[in-house]
Amino acid sequence: MKKATSTKSKTQSVDEFMDKLNHPFKAEVQAVRDIIKGVSQDITEAIKWNAPSFSYKGYLVTFNLSAKHHVHLVFHAPEVVNIKNKLLEGNYPARRMAYFSDMKDVKAKKTALVKVVKELIKARGEISKHGETATGIN
């Protein structure tokens, strides 16, 4: 019999990772994490590249915690190249970056971040189990 891995246990492992995280922008990382998770109940998280990573029908975005002067997100879902949003930086073949300089910047870019994540989810197919996002934004 296969052992099932629950979403809750993965979230708990990310919670434990965050508890131990020593990063100058830990509060901002947590705030961005909360924003991403709040977009949809269908987004799952785990640790990838020694950082919180988020998935919906495949990987969407992962923190790059080696950056110590800002918060760095790597959108490595290939669909991201088709999204036009001021939050997204770079011209890579299958990824885009997003940066947050402090908590004020996180708050200022929240709407853009939610929009990018929602567009990635939409590109992968509508949310099937819940019909609406956790934040009620469609």
Is residue 3 pLDDT above 60, yes or no?
A: no
pLDDT category, 135, cuts 50, 70, 90? very low
- φ, ψ of residue 98 in degrees (nearest 5): -140, 145
pTM for this model (two decimals): 0.83
**Which are the contacts of 103, defined by CB distance < 8 A and separation ≥ 6?**
27, 28, 31
R_g over Cα of the chain: 15
Mean pLDDT of 28-56: 95
* Chain segment 46-78, per-residue pLDDT in tens: 999 999 999 999 999 999 999 999 999 999 999
Residues 6+ away with beta carbon under 8 Å from 25: 68, 70, 71, 100, 102
27 CB neighbour count, 10 Å cutoff: 13
Contact 137/114 with Cβ under 8 angstroms? yes
* Complete domains list, the chain, with CATH: 7-123 (3.90.1150.200)
User: Between residues 93 and 126, which one has the greater pLDDT?
Assistant: 93
Q: Is the pLDDT of residue 27 over 90?
A: yes
Give the pLDDT score at 9: 61
Query: Three-class SS of residue 74?
Result: strand
